[in-house]
Structure 1
Amino acid sequence: MTGREWEMVVPAGSLPLARWRALRWSSGTGSALRRARSFMILTTLLYRASHLTVGVLAVAQHRPDRPVPYLGLAAALGLSILVYGTALRRGWFDPRQVGADVLVTGCALPFALYAWGGVRDTPSLGWAMLLGGSASAVAAVALTRPYALAAVALLVATHLYGYHLVGASRAVLGGHLNSLVSSAVMAWVMWWYLRRQGRLLDEANARALAAEAEKARYAERLAHHRALHDTVLATLTALAAGGIDANAPEVRQRCAREAAYLRRLVQRGADEVPHPGIGAALEEAVGSAESLGLRVTAQYHRLPEVPPEVAAAFADATREALNNVRRHAGTGHAYLTATECPAGPDGRPGAVVTVVDRGPGFDPGTRESGFGLRRSVHGRLAEVGGRAVVDTAPGEGVRVELRWPA
């Protein structure tokens, strides 16, 4: 099978795979739940920001000779930055930080203002009490149910006593306790709904991904069936009919190429599919070498997604390595493996392609690299951030390893 025949067959089966990968990357399992968490973090952050704004305006009216309100506001602001900064960075709240926020901002701050800040009236204490509402809201969504109930109960008890110390009216007391409890209840109901909808959406996405994967596998099987019909089956039918000479050199070469194609199909795992980029590029290079009489045993495993220029560089370097085997190894047989390599510093998986022959090899210390090896192998990989390594010794054959990224 030639490189042109591969190009005609593989992309036809790989088109559903491209749609499947696009769906998987754009709506991966768990993404809806992550978005629900992000929305909940943003909602409670805005709630806390509104209470801190009231606190800034209230503290600005205090006399400068009383630093405790300023220190209390600074402590509330610092804890808010810690709690919400961590949540935004990690994707969800740290329960220990939320507990500290409830104890310090929600419970201790009003008593500190009363004991050391000279606060003796309801309006002056109101901004600190407001912060208890946002503390109860985040506790309701970030803590487990027993701890969330305990946090809200503690806030209610301490705020009852705090307003009692400054002689707040029953109307103020009732309105504030209603705000404390309703903030927690509304936040919990919103989080329950968002979490439920996120899970339902993720389950729907998972089912869609499974359906797309099955369609891709079915299309891939059809593509291989067409390829087998047009190549291997056609050759066997012609041989069975007796219309051609089975010992003719061109027939033997065709049979060898198609046997190599079948070998690659058999060796591929059940769930593996050729990547439309690097897989097709490498197979074209293999087909080009086979058309010139070189027998290539190729194996592909878990080929990763690579940029088009990297796939082209791999193909050019592989073609030159195979040409070197054909010209210099004297064996007429090369072995090619291509697989995924561990992720690099950027987290993206790379690829490694190895071309091996069992020829006489050479002493790299006494032979200078030729133009093709220097420019088409080393040079092509270096241009895209990869590297090529040639390992050889007299009587040991030649092993060329192409790796990206370097």
Structure 2
Amino acid sequence: MARRRSFLSALLRGGAPVLASATSELSDEVADPRAPALPALRRVAGPVDAAARDGLLLRAARFVALIPIVYRLLAVPAAFAVFAGSGAPGLLPVSLVVACAVALSLFELGWLVRGAPFSPTVATRLLTLDVTFAIGANLVVAASVPESGLAPAGEVAVRYLLGTVALLTLALGVGYGAALALATVPLHLAMDWLGTGRVDVQAAFAGLGRLLGVLLTAVGALVLVGLGTRLALAYGIRTGRLAERAVQHRRLHDTVLQTLEAMALPGSGDAERLRRMARAEATALRRYLESDSGGESGPLAEKLGSLAAEMARDGLRAQLVLGELDDETLPEVRQLAVRDAVREAMRNTLKHAGTDRVLVRTEERDGGIATTIRDHGAGFSPEDRPPGFGISESIVARLTEVGGTATVDSSPGGGTRVTLWVPKD
């Protein structure tokens, strides 16, 4: 069994890839807006299995490394501009170092933003090359630039080294970044010996403080990004669960509950008719459970035609007036939303309107598809009868989820008109 540690500890040890840890540990309580902030953060930083990785999250986690790479692309040329403007000797070797630094950073940037899957092996090789170049660039500058120009020239190579410390910290964890920062002490001593023939131990340790500052900044950024990402994932998971629960509630309301209510209506029919209704509903529910999309394929016209036949078995005769719509006019998810909203409107007619006839019309309108369900039944007053679950959830909410709208117009004795609209694109 893989060893489990807190998310914060794993993040500091393993760097950005820990952001891809499996999200099974994130409960609804983490993202509950009513929960106090500190307990929520403690849950976010709670135990995780860092070995369980989500491929999509792992691919996204690599973009954290963009921060130090972009820093180097800005800081190294800026330091070179200061060096060149000072008139100090050693322009040629420093120019070559800058050219290689920019080329390597651009290559790493392109590798990060490319569309190919993340490769840990290639990432390890690039980081090894990056560290090797960072150390080598400082040694080359120290060995090739005269002592009078060593200070501004060395700043060019040091800027790249600062970015590498931050890069290792974000990509591999605090341990790697700290190790490179400590390695700069003997590096600085070697640079002193190559550039001046002397060794300044005090200056070597003084430069370490700057690198530790970069290390702490990178650690802070890693913690903030890590906790923020986990909290965002927790909110996303909670929202997804709530949305799935709403879909299931809506499905039960639109199928099983509606059928049971229809069976309970006075004069609903003999036992054979009730058996047919139950059999049809069981078949439809089984098809929904076995289907990825929750409905049959085919254009909207076919879906509405099947729906009219389904309602006819329950005693509601629907007249369909369907415009000429291309098969690709609407995405499948919007077709299903329209069909299920129409079903709810027709069932409301069957239960409440006191009529067995309804008109369903579809047409292109205002850059989308409009569907109107009209009956001349009893109607109702919206003030006296506020929308219940059927209207607010099965009709309005369903259309809103796919970018559409739904309106219900009714008056006592004037029937009811339900108008659905969804965009084509």
Superposition TM-score, scaled by structure 2 size: 0.49
Match of 1:73 in 2: 98
Match of 2:366 in 1: none
Residue 226 of structure 2 corresponds to residue 195 of structure 1: yes
CA contact (8 A) 2:170 2:218 kept: yes
3-state DSSP class of the match of 2:253?
A: helix
Select 1:215's aligned residue among 243, 246, 249: 246
The code of the aligned residue for 1:191 comes to L
Change (3 A) 1:64 1:158: closer
Q: Deviations over 1:87-119 (max 9, x none)?
A: 233698933222211211x21112212334445
Match of 2:188 in 1: 159
Residue 85 of structure 2 corresponds to residue 53 of structure 1: no
**1:85: Cα distance to partner?**
2.7
Change (3 A) 1:200 1:160: farther
Select 2:142's aligned residue among 107, 110, 114: 114
- Stretches of structure 2 that go unaligned for 5 or more consecutive residues are 1-53, 314-326, 337-425
Compare relative contact order (CA 8 Å, sep 6+) and give the higher one, 1 or 2.
1
Larger mean Cα displacement after TM superposition, 231-240 or 181-190? 231-240
In 2, Cα distance between equivalents of 1:34 and 1:83:
15
In 1, Cα distance between equivalents of 2:190 and 2:252:
73
CA contact (8 A) 1:68 1:116 kept: yes
Identity fraction in percent: 15
Residue 279 of structure 2 corresponds to residue 263 of structure 1: no
The code of the aligned residue for 1:51 comes to V
Residue 321 of structure 2 corresponds to residue 309 of structure 1: no
In 2, Cα distance between equivalents of 1:312 and 1:200:
29
Match of 2:112 in 1: 87
In 2, Cα distance between equivalents of 1:65 and 1:163:
16
Change (3 A) 1:156 1:30: same
CA contact (8 A) 1:113 1:125 kept: yes
**1:312: Cα distance to partner?**
12
Change (3 A) 1:32 1:193: farther
CA contact (8 A) 1:141 1:188 kept: yes
CA contact (8 A) 1:56 1:73 kept: no
Matches within 5 A, 1:354-393: none
Match of 1:97 in 2: 126
Q: Number of paired residues?
A: 263
- Stretches of structure 1 that go unaligned for 5 or more consecutive residues are 1-28, 241-245, 294-305, 316-406
Q: Deviations over 1:332-382 (max 9, x none)?
A: xxxxxxxxxxxxxxxxxxxxxxxxxxxxxxxxxxxxxxxxxxxxxxxxxxx
Superposition TM-score, scaled by structure 1 size: 0.51
Change (3 A) 1:145 1:102: same
In 2, Cα distance between equivalents of 1:166 and 1:313:
71
Change (3 A) 1:122 1:43: closer
Q: What is the alpha-carbon root mean square deviation over aligned residues?
A: 4.5
The code of the aligned residue for 1:284 comes to L
Q: Deviations over 1:187-238 (max 9, x none)?
A: 0232123112211221232123212212321222122134303545559842
The code of the aligned residue for 1:263 comes to T
The code of the aligned residue for 1:79 comes to L
Match of 2:155 in 1: 126
Q: Deviations over 1:144-185 (max 9, x none)?
A: 454434333333321332145445877754542211122122
Match of 2:294 in 1: 274
**1:68: Cα distance to partner?**
1.9
In 1, Cα distance between equivalents of 2:153 and 2:240:
57
**1:81: Cα distance to partner?**
0.9
CA contact (8 A) 1:140 1:185 kept: no
Larger mean Cα displacement after TM superposition, 200-209 or 158-167? 158-167
Change (3 A) 1:281 1:210: farther
Change (3 A) 1:69 1:60: farther
Select 2:306's aligned residue among 278, 286, 307: 286
